[in-house]
Structure 1
C-alpha cells in the first residue's frame, strides 16, 4: 500500500499472478493423484494386497524318493528272491549312496502283456499319486504270443503317457528299458523255436518302443544288446533256463544307477 491507502502497482500484479497459480497448482495436484492411482489404489498401497494371498500347496517332491516299476516277469524278477530284482537292487544301491528312497512300488506280473499292464495300473488306482522315478519294461509277452506290432505301439504309447502323468510330466524322470531277447536262452532251444525269427521280432518291438520313447523325449536304456551275449550262460540264468539270474538284474540296476546319478536330479 502507498501512503494514501491505495494498492501499489507491485501488489496489484502479485494478486493477479498468484490467483491463477493457485489454480495451476491445484490442477497439478489432481493430475498427480490420478496418475499415482493403480486400479483405484494409490501407488503407496500397491504393496498391500486387497485380498489375502492364497496358500500354495507344497510340491510333491518332498521326503524320500518314490519309485514306481512297471513291467512283467523281468521287473518282478521271476526265479530270484524279491530283494534281487532290479528295482529292489537299484533302491539298495541308492541307499548306499545316502540317497533317501522308499521301497519300490512294483506293478508287474509274469506273463503280462501291455494290455495286462494297463489293466494293472487302473486297478492300482494311481490317479492321485505322484512319483519321482518310473521305469517301464514291457513287451516280451506281446512278441511271445504273436500279437500285432501296431497294437503294441498303441498300448505302449498309452503306457508312456500314463508314466509321464505319474511323474508330473517331467520326462527326465521316466526310463524306458528295452525288451531282452529270450531267444538266446536254453528254454527257447527246448521249445524248438527259431532263434533268428525271435531276434528279428524282438528288434522290431524294440524299434517301435524306441521310436515312441524318443518322440516324447524320454530316456531309453538298451539292455538287449548286452543280454544277447550272456543270456545263454548258466551263471546268468535262473532255474527255469529262461529268466535272468540275480547277476543280470544286478547289471541292469547298475546301468540304471549310472543314468540316475549322472543325468537325473530326483529332487
Structure 2
C-alpha cells in the first residue's frame, strides 16, 4: 500500500540519531511520502536539511505554531512570509490556536492565525490547523476567512460529530492519527458517520503514538496502525482507505 503521512515532525531532536532508519522503516511500511509541518524559526534549518537530504520523500510546510506565538511573534511572521516568497512549500502550517497550556496569548494567536490564513490564500496553499482546546476559536477565524479559495486540514482531529460536520461544511479535511486507536479517544463514535473522502492520515510524530506503542516515540512507520483502525471503524478494506486517503492528500497538497 502507498500511504501519505500528512503530519510528521521528523526533523525533531528525537529523530536526530536515526532519521535514515526511521525513513527506511516508513518505506517498508508503505509510507513513501512524508509532509513536515514547521514550528518556528528554530526548526526551519533542520526541517529543510532533512528535505534536501530526502527530497523524494520529505516535503516541508512553512508556518508558526500557536505555542510559539510570543511577544515577538511579528518577527516570526515576517520570517515565514519571506520563506514563502523564496521557494515552494506544500502548505502553510502548522498554525492555529492552542489554549491547553496558556490562555493569555489568545489575541496574539488570533492575529498570527489571521496572518497565516491570508498567506495561504495569497500563495494558494492549503493550511494545516492546530486547534488544541480551541476548536471554536480557530473555527471562527477560518470560517471568517473562507471565501471559497481556502483549503486545508484540521490536524489531529479528536472532536465530536458536530465539529466534524462543521469542518466538512468549510470544505476542509480532518487529519486522523493515533487518537483513533485509543480506547477512550472518542473517534469510534465519530468516524463511522464520516465519508472517507474527508479524511487524511497522520502520525504527528514523535507525539501521540498509536496503540500498542502509546507512550513511546511515534514515527511514520506506525501510520498503518492508524489506517487499519480507520478501516475497521468504517467497515472498509485497508486497501480502500489507503487508496482514498492517498488520493485526497495528493489533491489537497497538490503532490505529484
Question: Structure 2-normalised TM-score?
Answer: 0.42
Q: Which has the larger radius of gyration?
A: 1
